[in-house]
Amino acid sequence: MGSNMAENHPVGFQWVVEARLRGAKIIHVDPRFTRTSAMSNLHVPLRAGTDIAFLGGIVNYILENDRYFRDYVVHYTNAPVIVSEEYADTEDLDGLFSGYDPESRSYDASTWQYVGTTVSGAAGQREMGGITGEQAHYAQAGELGHGGEPPEMDRTLEHPRCVFQILKKHYSRYTPEMVEEICGTPKELFLQVAEALCENSGREKTSAFCYAVGWTQHTVGVQYIRTAAIIQLLLGNIGRPGGGILALRGHASIQGSTDIPTLYNILPGYLPMPHAHQHQNLEMYVERNSAKSGYWGNMKAYMVSLLKAYWGGAATAENDFCFDYLPRLTGDHSIYPALMGMIDGWCKGFFVMGENPAVGAANGKLQRLALANLDWLIVRDFSEIESASFWYDSPEIETGELKTEEIGTEVFFMPAAAHTEKNGSFTNTQRLLQWHFRAVEPQGDCRSELWFMYHLGRKVREKLANSTDPKDRAILDLNWDYPIEEESEFEEPDAEAVLREIGGWDENNEPLPSYLPIKADGSTTCGCWIYAGVYADEVNQAARKKPYWEQGGNWVAPEWAWAWPMNRRIIYNRASADPEGRPWSERKKYIWWDEEQGQWTGYDVPDISPTKRPDYEPEAGAVAEDAIRGDKPFIMQADGRGWIFVPAGLTDGPLPTHYEPHESPFENALYGQQSNPVREVYPRPENPYNPSDGDPGARVFPYVFTTYRLTEHHTAGGMTRTVGHLSELQPEMFCEVSPELAKERGLENDGWATIITSRTAIEARVLVTDRVVPMKVQGRVVHQVGLPYHWGSKGIVTGDSANDLLGLTLDPNVHIGEYKAATCDIRPGRRPRGPALVRLVEDYRRRAESHNGGG
């Protein structure tokens, strides 16, 4: 679901095809019929933006028909835990949870807690630095009672306030009929999916979900994944071979750039960036970010070792290991507020390295207006992408909204080295670090980002060398003495030395074998604790390329590259065995307890302390992993249980709830609350929204559109529109419409269409196809328009950018935009040129009374 794996991850899809040949059932749930659908046993269409209703329907089916995996659910999830009396559900409050404050449009999560625990209601204090998104791994489940269990539980799952019963009530109206009403999916098709999942789960079998940005790019994106997590926990499909919820990510190292983040809210290894008010010193930071039980109980050790990696000898216990050198957050500092800051003039400089926001990001005009108002911009890429050329060839130049001579941005285009021209590691979508070796030297001025950052840092440090300004200490004390490759003609830093720092070392400068020896006293150094061990034994473990056929028949192939953490290929794999440590079944055995040897064993690295007995019970006062029982697999959680109900860490509710997209032609059939009440909106003139159902003017934009990728192009096209073969294979921007819509709007196959939203209008060639089917929703027929988003003004092949059509509305947990469901109009013919384009869009906005987001 939310993915077109056959076209966008074709080589990964070989395993799906192979599984099907061996009898597995493949189901593709997607608004469009794609090659993935063609290779599946079943294609199930649904309206874009309604997946929670669909998945919630499956949860309801599992519960109503008693199809859950009872032993797994009782022992490994928080289903039996009793929740606070003060909690009120969306069923009670017509689409809101308890704790909602309409003024600040945010939740106070204190009523969502387990009974008998005290937890700070962080989620409601977003501006005060609430813990959300990537930071929310270590949920604050409060103090555990005796024996490492939450204070109150009902293992019969019958207590009206236990998670299981709350779940049952929450999804009770997500019936097959309701699924059909909301998603437009015929009831019979939906039931086939629900039954197939249940049939293929349990002791003997497991089912997996694969998803991509079709799930994440929504104002309820995090809750999409959460709904799948609930299903998988109910069916016992997490931590077991063939199970899981698998993110199919789209860039070579997008996983790596999340683990070792170029993200504002985290430091390497998912340590939160400190907040100005809540984390005034290291002790407060650790105290407020980590629970005493569970793996995050070691947070101080990981943080201190990171500070040692950053500031080396300058970081001592006396100066809090330079904790105050870290800049502080005070709210959302993601790219979206930064863009607004560029338009408003307080964000003046911008580094863009290997990304092309002028084409790849929503509301392209807003992106380009931001670029045009900078003091300086550095673009590093292979070729001159649209984010570098906006000042002379953007759509706004064509319409006259921007004039080259009036744009004050100073632009540096820096040619980048390719992966073939540098050493380094990518982390793939399954957490595998794979080293790529340099084949040839980069030519001309082309350089790696390693070179660029190292030498930029060196120059800045040289220029500030004599500074006595206290704010420059963090720069001058920085551990920045990386060795230079001996034979390099232009002083390329040694990438392996950087990887060694990431993997860390002990007080004798010996590389860390894993994260287990990391200490809080400053004796260990580690740039990213979850990567500790990647340089074990002074060996670049990520560079291991032992052919899989030479690995002694172990299908896990542990000697190919290296997976974080500790080369573990399936995380939470303790769940592959029953509470007593025996495999759930012979067929699905993966790791198990060996009583004779007194340790865990199996095909993979066990995700539990190797000698922790299945019947281990923590003593009072135990902390970190010692506070987790031997029969609890989810060791990152304070209670060791998989969370069906999330008491802390989410801003928009403890259970996923169906809300309509920000722009939708339909009302929410389940609740009075139309859309996610805490979604982030940017009501600004540069970011107008189409009216949603219930607003006058909603009918001006009657169609739903969704964006997607093609096999032959990559994201914003910077790496494919410059390639001859690929440009020839997919030469032109097009839109997919059904024959019914084509008839309704007079569109002709191979002709032109103009697609209009409140932001702008773009043109595309028309592909009339029954791959997109009209859906019957709430008694009305809705048409959907499919738009690939790869084109821009540069490259061998050019075209309008689909992302220009989208407005910016974000998921409140992780600040990801709603790119996958919005409304539009479509009409035959090419779009107007020049100022006439602006007039056309203005006319639509006036007719629709487009506004700045309410509901």
Region 387-416 residues binding another protein, contact defined as CB under 8 A? 388, 391-392, 404-415
Within 13 Å and on the Cβ side, how many CA atoms surround 232?
24
Which of 668, 500, 718, 511 lies closest to 50, judged by CA?
668
Q: Are 567 and 558 in contact (CB under 8 A)?
A: yes
Instruction: Report the C-alpha gap between 665 and 687 in whole angstroms.
Output: 19
| Comparison of 143 and 324: residue with beta carbon closer to another protein | 324
Question: Near another protein by CB under 8 A, which window of 43-51, 107-115, 724-732, 832-840?
Answer: 724-732
Applying CB under 8 A, which of residues 65, 92, 548, 611 lies at the interface with another protein?
Answer: 548
Strand partners, 784: 704
DSSP assignments along 9-72, one per residue: SHHHHHHHHHHHHTT---EEE-SB--HHHHTSSEEE---TT-HHHHHHHHHHHHHHTT-S-HHH
Region 129-148 residues binding another protein, contact defined as CB under 8 A? none
Question: Near another protein by CB under 8 A, which window of 75-83, 117-125, 172-180, 323-331?
Answer: 323-331
Q: Is 535 in the site for another protein (CB under 8 A)?
A: no
Applying CB under 8 A, which of residues 380, 574, 759, 790 lies at the interface with another protein?
Answer: 380
Kindly state the helix (H) or strand (E) to which residue 380 belongs, with its residue range. Answer: strand 376-381
DSSP assignments along 490-502, one per residue: T--B-HHHHHHHH
Question: Near another protein by CB under 8 A, which window of 92-100, 103-111, 467-475, 579-587?
Answer: 467-475
Q: Is 361 in the site for another protein (CB under 8 A)?
A: yes
Task: Please report, for residues 114, 367, 538, 646, the alpha-carbon distance to residue 292 in angstroms, rounded to integers and kept in the order given.
Answer: 16, 43, 33, 18
Residue 88 phi, psi (nearest 5): -125, 140
Q: Is 425 in the site for another protein (CB under 8 A)?
A: yes
Residues 6 or more apart whose CB falls under 8 angstroms from that of 711 comprise 7, 8, 10, 730
Region 292-321 residues binding another protein, contact defined as CB under 8 A? 309-310
Instruction: Look up residue 844 and give its amino acid.
Output: Y
Q: Is 376 in the site for another protein (CB under 8 A)?
A: yes
| Comparison of 528 and 577: residue with beta carbon closer to another protein | 528
Instruction: Report the C-alpha gap between 824 and 703 in whole angstroms.
Output: 5
Region 643-672 residues binding another protein, contact defined as CB under 8 A? none
Task: Report residue 622 CA to chain centroid gap.
Answer: 33
- Tell the smallest beta-carbon distance from residue 721 to another protein (Å): 8
Strand partners, 799: none
Question: Near another protein by CB under 8 A, which window of 105-113, 595-603, 706-714, 743-751?
Answer: 706-714
- Tell the smallest beta-carbon distance from residue 543 to another protein (Å): 8
| Comparison of 440 and 620: residue with beta carbon closer to another protein | 440
Structure tokens at 488: 């390099």
Question: Near another protein by CB under 8 A, which window of 201-209, 546-554, 769-777, 839-847?
Answer: 546-554
Question: Near another protein by CB under 8 A, which window of 93-101, 376-384, 689-697, 766-774?
Answer: 376-384
- Tell the smallest beta-carbon distance from residue 272 to another protein (Å): 12
- Tell the smallest beta-carbon distance from residue 539 to another protein (Å): 16
Q: Is 852 in the site for another protein (CB under 8 A)?
A: no
Which letter does DSSP use for residue 144 in this model?
Answer: -
Q: Is 326 in the site for another protein (CB under 8 A)?
A: yes
Region 37-96 residues binding another protein, contact defined as CB under 8 A? none
Applying CB under 8 A, which of residues 438, 568, 588, 783 lies at the interface with another protein?
Answer: 438
Count of residues near another protein by CB under 8 A: 165
Residue 469 phi, psi (nearest 5): -65, 125
Question: Near another protein by CB under 8 A, which window of 186-194, 377-385, 744-752, 822-830?
Answer: 377-385
Region 203-262 residues binding another protein, contact defined as CB under 8 A? 213, 217, 248-262
- Tell the smallest beta-carbon distance from residue 266 to another protein (Å): 9
Strand partners, 748: none
Applying CB under 8 A, which of residues 36, 207, 227, 434 lies at the interface with another protein?
Answer: 434
Task: Please report, for residues 24, 117, 223, 226, 501, the alpha-carbon distance to residue 655 in angstroms, rounded to integers and kept in the order given.
Answer: 30, 19, 8, 8, 40
Q: Is 420 in the site for another protein (CB under 8 A)?
A: yes
Applying CB under 8 A, which of residues 662, 714, 771, 831 lies at the interface with another protein?
Answer: 714
- Tell the smallest beta-carbon distance from residue 749 to another protein (Å): 24
Task: Please report, for residues 476, 485, 486, 705, the alpha-carbon distance to residue 461 in angstroms, rounded to integers and kept in the order given.
Answer: 6, 21, 23, 49
Instruction: Report the C-alpha gap between 437 and 225 in whole angstroms.
Output: 35
Q: Are 366 and 389 in contact (CB under 8 A)?
A: no
Region 469-498 residues binding another protein, contact defined as CB under 8 A? 471, 474-475, 478, 480, 495, 498
The torsion defined by the Cα of 19, 21, 27 and 31, in degrees rounded to 10, comes to 110
Give, in degrees to the nearest 5, the angle at Cα 690 between 686 and 695.
135
Applying CB under 8 A, which of residues 273, 315, 605, 848 lies at the interface with another protein?
Answer: 273
Question: Near another protein by CB under 8 A, which window of 21-29, 176-184, 230-238, 425-433?
Answer: 425-433
Q: Is 681 in the site for another protein (CB under 8 A)?
A: no
Which of 115, 494, 137, 529 lies closest to 307, judged by CA?
529
Taking residues 152 to 191 in sequence order and writing x for each that binds another protein by CB under 8 A, - otherwise, the string is: ----------------------------------------
Instruction: Report the C-alpha gap between 53 and 44 in whole angstroms.
Output: 14
Question: Near another protein by CB under 8 A, which window of 172-180, 193-201, 422-430, 599-607?
Answer: 422-430
Q: Is 17 in the site for another protein (CB under 8 A)?
A: no
- Tell the smallest beta-carbon distance from residue 545 to another protein (Å): 5
Q: Is 346 in the site for another protein (CB under 8 A)?
A: yes
ω into 565 cis (within 30 of 0): yes
Applying CB under 8 A, which of residues 384, 485, 744, 763 lies at the interface with another protein?
Answer: 384
| Comparison of 320 and 744: residue with beta carbon closer to another protein | 320
Which of 820, 828, 784, 783 lies closest to 803, judged by CA?
820
- Tell the smallest beta-carbon distance from residue 246 to another protein (Å): 11
Structure tokens at 599: 């340790």
Q: Is 324 in the site for another protein (CB under 8 A)?
A: yes
Q: Is 349 in the site for another protein (CB under 8 A)?
A: yes
Region 551-570 residues binding another protein, contact defined as CB under 8 A? 551, 557, 560
Applying CB under 8 A, which of residues 711, 745, 767, 832 lies at the interface with another protein?
Answer: 711
User: From the CB of residue 626, how many other CB atoms can be counted at a distance below 10 Å?
Assistant: 15
Q: Is 360 in the site for another protein (CB under 8 A)?
A: yes
Q: Is 342 in the site for another protein (CB under 8 A)?
A: yes
Total residue length of the chain: 855
Taking residues 792 to 831 in sequence order and writing x for each that binds another protein by CB under 8 A, - otherwise, the string is: ---xx-----------------xxxx-x------------
Radius of gyration of the chain (CA): 27
Which letter does DSSP use for residue 267 in this model?
Answer: E
Residues 6 or more apart whose CB falls under 8 angstroms from that of 387 comprise 352, 355, 356, 357, 358, 359, 367, 371, 379, 381
Residue 485 phi, psi (nearest 5): -60, 135
Q: Exposed/middle/buried for 620, CB within 10 Å: 0-12, 13-18, 19+?
A: exposed
Q: Is 352 in the site for another protein (CB under 8 A)?
A: yes
Applying CB under 8 A, which of residues 19, 191, 353, 767 lies at the interface with another protein?
Answer: 353
Applying CB under 8 A, which of residues 37, 448, 754, 784 lies at the interface with another protein?
Answer: 448
Instruction: Look up residue 534 and give its amino acid.
Output: V
Strand partners, 391: none
Region 728-767 residues binding another protein, contact defined as CB under 8 A? 729
Applying CB under 8 A, which of residues 355, 492, 578, 660 lies at the interface with another protein?
Answer: 355
Q: Is 375 in the site for another protein (CB under 8 A)?
A: yes
